[in-house]
Structure 1
Amino acid sequence: MGEHQVGAPTELDKLDAGFRGAGKQWLCIGKAIFWPIILLAQAIWIYFFGCIFAYGKRLGRGVLCGLCVCCNCTYKDKKFPPTHAAIGAWENKSPEQIDREIKWRRIGDIVAAGGKTGAKLFAGKIEPADICQGGLGDCWLMSALACLANQEGAVQQVFLTKEYTNYGRYRIRLWDAPNEKWVTLTIDDWIPCNANTGLPVFAKPNGDEAWVLLLEKAMAKFKGSYAKLDGGSTMWALEALTGDYVFEFRLDPKLNKWQRREMFHRANNTGGFDVLLRLTDDALDGDEMFSTMLFYNRKRSFIAASTGSGSDKDNVNGIVQGHAYAVCNVKLVDRFQLVQLRNPWGTFEWDGAWSDKSPLWEQHPKVKRALDFTPGDDGTFWMEWKDFYSYYKCLDFCIRTTGFDDIAIDLHEERPLCGPTIGCVLGCTRYWLCCLGIRALFFSRKARHFEKPQDGGGCAAC
C-alpha cells in the first residue's frame, strides 16, 4: 500500500470519483436483478467445486505425496532452511549455540508427541483460543492472528493450501504493501523446537492444529528470520495478512485525546522500506473513542490494543505492560461500556471490575446474559471502558474487506473420506438458511476508499 497523498482533490480525482459512483450504482442494480443467479453460482463454486477440488487434491496427495513420505522425501524450503539462518540473531546466541539448542521437528511429529492421532491445518472452529505465544516477543503478531480468528473466514483467506499435507508444503498469501501487490510464500512445516523437551520454542500448537505455527513461520520468512519477529506493529501485521486499510489511535496524555495516525511505507538507503506514521487532524475524547470502537466492531473490522511502554515481565492488576492484546468485542449494555480482550499468552487476565471473578456479573444478570459470559482461564476477559482507558494507550484498526471471500467450506480434516461432503452439505445449509450468501452479496465492503462516518470518529469504508 503506497503513501497516501493528503490535499485537495484534483479535477481528475473528481472525475474518477464520479466514474466510481456510477459504477457502484450499476453494480447495485445488477445485484438487485440477478441476485438469485449470483447466489446460486457462488454456492456452487464455494461448496460443490470446493468439495470436488478437495477430493481431487486428497487423491493426488495420497498417491504422489504418499510415495514421497514412504521414501522419506518430504518438502524442505531451500530459501528458508531449518537451520540457524532461519532463526537469525536471537538472544545474542551464536549460530553454533542455536544449532545445539534447537531441534527442528515436523508438525506431525510434534502433534503425535502430544498424544494426538494426527495433525490438521484447522480442527473444528477457528478461534482466538487456538493461539498461544511462545518464547518470542511477537505478541503484536499473535494479537493480529487473534483478531483474524475472531471473524469467520478471515484466517482461511490467508491460506492457499486449505488442509494439512504429509508432504509438508504450504502456500500462504501476504500483502506486500511497499510494492502494492500480493505475494505467495511457500514454506515447509519444520518447526524450531527445544532440543531437550522437543516442544516448539516459539508459537505453541493448540491440540492438533497447525495454522498458528505455519503463519508465524510464513511471517518470519516474509521478514527474513524468526528473530525479526521479536518486536513489531500489530497494525503492520494486519495489513500484511489482509491487504486492507489500517490506522491507529494513540492516547496523548497532555491533551487527554486519542489522535489518529496513518501508516505508510518509505524506501530507505538499504534497498528496503521503513514503516512510518503520519499524524492526522482527528482527535477524539474518551466517549468518542469508545463510540468509534463500537462502530468498527459492528462493522466487523479488526481492533487491537497495546499498553504502551514497559516490560512484558511486569503486570499491573493482571494487565501486562509493553504488550499487545486483541480486542474481541465491544458492547454497550445498559449503561456499561465494556470491552473484551485476549492476551495472546493464553493467560494473565485482568483481575479488576468485570474480570472473571468479579461479583459484578451476579449483581447485573442482564449484562451477564447479554454477553453470554462464561469464566475461563484462557487469557480472555472483559473490562469497563474507564478501566481500559487507564491501561491501554494505543488502538490499531483494520477496515476489513468483506464479501464472498469470507465464506469457506469446512473440509473436516478429521474425516478423510466424507469430510468434504459433510462440509458441502452443512455449508450449503448455513449459506441459505442463515443468509450467509445474502449478507455477502448485499452487505459486502471493499476497504479501499474511506470517508468519515456519521455515527463515530475515524474512517469508514464507502
Structure 2
Amino acid sequence: MGCCQSKDTKKPKEEARKAPEAKRQEPVARRAALDEKRELSGKAAAHADESVDPRVERIHALRAYQEKCPFRYDACTVRGGEVKKYFENGIVFRIIKGDSWFIYNDSLDYEAQVDFRLGPGSKISAGERTTLEETEDGWICAHAVVYPLETLHYISGSVNGYKSGITIKPLSDEYRHDMAKVANEIAENETAAVQELAGEETDEEEVLRRCVRTRTPYVDLHFPPHAHSLARPELDVRTFPEMAFMRPTQYLSGNKRASPDAVVGPVVSQSIDCGSLGDSWLVCALAALAEKPSTVEQLFMHSTPAEKAVGAYRVSLNKNGWWNSVIVDDYLPTVNKTPVFARSFDQPRELWIPLLEKAYAKVHGSFATITGGDALQALTDFTGSPVFRFDVDWASAAINATKAAAFAELLIHLTRHSAATVMLSTPSHDSETYLGREAQVDPRAFREKFAEVGLRTGYTYFVENVVAFEKRRTLLFKVRNPWRSTGRWTGRWCYGSPAWKENPEVCSACNGLVDPKDGSFWIEFEDAKKYFDGGGVIMTLSASTDYRVKGCFEDTVPSAVLDITVAEPVRVLLTLSQPDKRGFDRKNPACRFAPIMLTLSKQDGDKQRVMQNTSWNPLQPADEFNFAVSRDVGMWATLQPGERYHVVPRIHRKGVKTDYSRPYVIGIIAEAPLDGKVHIEAKHIPADSSVFTNYVAYAATDLASVDVEHQVHTAGAPLQCSVSATVVAAAAAAVRSPPAKSDPSPVRSGSDVSGDAIQRVANVPNPGDADDDSQL
C-alpha cells in the first residue's frame, strides 16, 4: 500500500474563477505520428531512405517518445493537457484538460483510491464513478476508485484550490478473479481440446503436429496457461495473484491481431520493458542478446508459419550444456489485456521478449524459479558460450593502483578480442559488494544518486572500448546504455562536457565532440568504480559450429573422454557443463554444484601429457589443477596438425555423491565446421588411470571407443543429434611420435587428490544464486 497525502496542494483563492484553458502539449499517448514511426521501425517502409539504419530509427523513436511521455503503459485515453504524476514511479497521474480533471492509473497491480479536497467556492460536477460530499467549512471532498490502466473522468468545473490524498493498494482477489474469469475459461477450454486431441500421446512434437494438421490452437500441456506455471505450490516459495492468460490475438486490438510474430521489426534492447516478474537479471541478458539481432532471430528461426498460425513457437536454448528446441504456446499472463512480465514497449505484437522469458521459465519449472540470478549464466543458456565474472578484480582495482593498471590491460585486451563481449553491472539492492552494502543503508537515496547521472541500479551495461592515456593517467571506458527508461550520463566526459575541449588529444582519440545518439557514453575509471561494482565477459563466436557430447561421472571417472587427432590447425573453445541447480528441490543431488575441471592433454610418446586446465577465465587456462565450483567452465585451445589430444572432464572427489551419477556435457565450439579438419572419437579411460590422481602424464594406449549421444548446432541449420563413438570424422592424420619422456610424476607430492585446489568462483555477485551451497 502507498499513500500520497497532501503533497499536492493549491491554496484557495479569495474569489473562485473559472480555470483557464490548459496550454496544449504533446499527446500523452501514442497516436498516428508515433504509429507511423513504429511501422517504419517494424518494416522498413518502401519509401524510406535505404541509407538509414532501421535499428537507429527505432532507437531514436523510442527515446523521443520517452522524453515526451511520462507513462509506462500505452493506455491513457486523454490527449494533451497538463500532466502531474503522483508517487516516485508515477503510478497515478492527474491530467487537467480544459475544465476537466482525469485520473489515469498507470499500473497493473494496484487500485488507486483518489481523494481530493476542493477549496470553498469551487464549482464542480462529478465525473463517472466520482462521489462528492461538501463539508461544513465549504470544502468539497471528491472520491473515486481507479483500476489498472483506467482513465477516469474525475470532475469538471472550476477549482478554487485543493489538497490531494491518493492511496494505492494491491488489487483484491475478487477483482482479479472477475477480471481473469472469461480469459481463463477460454484457456481451460483450449487446453481440454488439445488434451482430447493428444489422448495418450505425451511427445510434444507429435502433439504439435496434430494441432497443425487439425488447425487446433496449440496449448503446451507440459507448461499450460495455469497458475502452476507461475509457481509450483510444492516447490516454489514465491506466490502470484490470479492473472488472465491470454494469447496476443486476444489482447491485441484492431489489425494487430492478425500479425503477431516473434520478431516484427529491427531488434533493439531499448524496446524491452522489464515487467513485474522481478527478473531484471534475465532481462539484462535479453538486452545483451539484442545487441546482436541475428542472435535473437536464430533462437526463433525454426518456428514454421504453420506452427505459429496455431500459436506455437520454437526457442533454441542451451540447457545444462545441451541444445534443446523448446516448444511453447503464446499464452501470456496479463492484466487488463496487457502482458504482466517482460514485453516489447513500443511494438505489442512483437513476441520474442515474452516468449524467450516464457521458454526459460518452462525449462526451469515455473516463472517463480527465474526471479533471481546472474545475467551471464543466462547468456550461456541462450548462446552456449562460456562466461566469466571479474567482480573481485574490479573491487581490487578500485582500491589498488597497481592492480588497477593490470586490470586495465585485461579490459583493453578483452574489448579488442573479437569473440569477447564485456559488461559492467550496477549494484542491486541485495548485492554483497562494496557498493551494494552502501545501497542497503538508504535504498531510495542510492537509486536517486544513480538516476541523477542517468544510470539505473541493478542493471547491465556494455563496454565498447577502453582507452588508457598514460600521460594524463586517465582510463576511459566507452559504455553503452541499452535501457530506454534512463537518461544520459551526465558526469565528467559526458557529451558536451568541458573536459573534451580541455583535453584535445583525448577528444580526438575518443571522437568526444560527436553526439553518439545510441545511448553510448564515455566514463573514466574514477567515476566508473563509484557506480559499477563489477561485471563479466561472454565469449561468443559469430556463425560458429557447436559440438556437444554427453557423459556422466561414475565416482570421479567420466564415462567418456574425447580423443582428437588433427589434420589442420584449429582454434576452439572447450567447455564443460554440469546440471544447473535452478528449479530443483533442495533434496535433489543436482541442486548443488560439484567442483569440476576440464583438462587438455597432448600425446607424448606412448603417454598423454597435460597441457592446460580450465580456470576462472577462459582466456587464461591454468597449468595447475584447479577445480572450480561452477556450473560451467571453459578455455580456449589451439590444436596443431599431426598431434593427438585428449579432452578429459574431471570432478573432485568432494563433489561425488552416493547413488548419483552426475551428468556432464563437453562442448567444442569452432568458427567453422570441423569435418575433415579433426577426427574426434569418444573413448573411455580406465578408473585406475593416473590422470584421475593429478599426474601430468598418463598411459593412453589402446583405449576403448564408446558410443555417446552427441549433437551439432550450427546457426541457421537444423539441430543434428546422433549416437555413435565418432563425433567428428576426418581422414586419419599422421600423429607425431616424439621420444618418450621420463616416467610420469605427480604434480604435487603423493598420488591422491588431496593436494589439488578447489576454486570457489568468487567472481559471482549474488551469493543466493551462486555456489555458496555447493557440496564440498
| TM-score normalised according to structure 1 size | 0.58
Of 198, 203, 227, the residue aligned with 1:84 is 227
Q: Which residue pairs with 1:412 in the alignment? A: none
Q: Is this contact kept in 2: 1:399–1:460, CA < 8 A?
A: no
Paired position in structure 2 for 1:452: 620
Partner Cα separation in structure 1 for residue 450 and residue 286 of structure 2 = 25
Aligned counterparts of 2:523 and 2:331: Cα–Cα separation in 1 = 39
Q: 1:389 to 1:89 in 2, by over 3 A?
A: farther
> Any conservation in 1 of the 2:239–2:368 contact (CA below 8 Å)?
no
- 1:172 equivalent to 2:307? Answer no
Residue 326 of structure 1 aligns to which amino acid in structure 2? Y
TM-aligned CA distance change 1:374 to 1:401, over 3 Å = closer
Letter in 1 for 2:541: T
**Aligned to 1:347, which of 466, 486, 495?**
486
Q: 1:108 to 1:387 in 2, by over 3 A?
A: farther
Whichever residue aligns with residue 467 of structure 2, its letter is: L
SS at 2:282 equivalent: helix
SS at match of 2:315: strand
Which residue pairs with 1:387 in the alignment? 527
Find the counterpart in structure 1 of residue 277 from structure 2. 136
Match of 1:325 in 2: 460
Query: Matched residues in 1 for 2:325 and 2:222: separation?
Result: 14
Distance 1:170 1:290 in 2: 43
SS at match of 1:76: coil
Aligned partners of 1:82 and 1:372: how far apart in 2?
A: 49
Q: Which has the larger radius of gyration?
A: 2
Task: Report matched runs for 1:409-428 at 5 Å.
Answer: none
Greater fraction of residues in strand: 2
Measured in 2, the distance between the counterparts of 1:115 and 1:146 equals 25
AA aligned opposite 1:245: P
Amino acid aligned to 1:398? I
1:373 to 510, 515, 529: 515
Verify: 1:306 aligned to 2:306, yes or no.
no
Task: Report the counterpart of residue 193 of structure 1 in structure 2.
Answer: 334
CA distance in structure 2 between the aligned counterparts of 1:403 and 1:126, rounded to whole angstroms: 18
Query: 1:145 aligns to what?
Result: 286
Q: Which structure 1 residue ranges, 5 or more long, are not aligned? A: 1-60, 260-282, 407-441, 454-458
2:377 aligned to 229, 236, 240, which one?
236
Partners of 1:293 and 1:117 in 2: CA distance: 47
1:348 CA drift (Å):
5.2
Do 1:133 and 1:345's aligned partners in 2 also have CA atoms closer than 8 Å? no
Seen in structure 2, the aligned counterparts of structure 1 residues 186 and 394 have a Cα distance that, compared at 3 Å, is same
Q: Relative to structure 1, is the Cα distance of residues 404 and 451 closer, same or farther in structure 2, using a 3 angstrom cutoff?
A: closer
Q: Say whether residues 1:402 and 2:542 are aligned partners.
A: yes
Partner of 1:274 in structure 2?
none
Matching residue's letter, 1:316:
K
TM-score, reference length from structure 2? 0.36
Match of 1:420 in 2: none
Q: Which has the higher contact order (CA 8 A, sep 6+)?
A: 1
- Whole-angstrom CA distance in 1 between matches of 2:533 and 2:414: 18
Q: Go from structure 1 to structure 2 and tell me whether the alpha carbon gap of 1:246 and 1:84 turns closer, same or farther (over 3 Å shift).
A: same
Query: How far did 1:203 drift?
Result: 0.6
* Cα pair 2:468 2:475 within 8 Å, conserved: yes
RMSD of the alignment, in Å?
Answer: 4.2
Alignment deviations for residues 105-134 of structure 1 (CA, whole Å, 9 cap, x no partner): 213444546968722322333222232211
Q: Report if aligned partners of 1:104, 1:192 keep a CA contact under 8 Å in 2.
A: yes
Change (3 A) 1:170 1:115: closer
The 8 Å contact of residues 175 and 183 in structure 1, kept in 2 or not, is answered as yes
Opposite residue 342 of structure 1, the aligned amino acid is N
SS of the residue aligned with 2:309?
coil
Q: Assess, with a 3 A threshold, how the Cα gap between structure 1 residues 167 and 355 changes in structure 2: closer, same or farther.
A: farther
Q: CA deviation at 1:243?
A: 1.4
Aligned match of 2:477: 338
Amino acid at match of 2:334: C
Deviation at 1:332, TM superposition (A): 2.8
User: 1:361·1:368 contact (CA, 8 Å) conserved in 2?
Assistant: no
Q: Tell me by how many angstroms 1:223 deviates.
A: 1.8
Shift of 1:316: 1.9
* Equivalent in the alignment of 2:596: none
Question: Judging changes above 3 Å, is the alpha-carbon distance between structure 1 residues 444 and 324 closer, same or farther for their aligned structure 2 residues?
Answer: farther
Q: Could you say if the C-alpha distance between residues 255 and 110 of structure 1 is closer, same or farther in structure 2, counting changes exceeding 3 Å?
A: same
SS at match of 1:134: coil
Paired letter, 2:390: F
**Do residues 202 (structure 1) and 332 (structure 2) align?**
no
**Does residue 296 of structure 1 match 2:414?**
yes
Deviations 1:307-334 (A, max 9, x none): 2324776242326675021315224387
Give 1:150 shift: 1.2
Note closer, same or farther for the CA distance 1:108–1:394 as it changes in structure 2 (3 Å cut): farther
1: CA distance, partners of 2:355 / 2:325: 14
Taking only the aligned residue pairs, the percentage that are identical comes to 24
TM-superposed CA distance for 1:400, in Å, is: 1.0
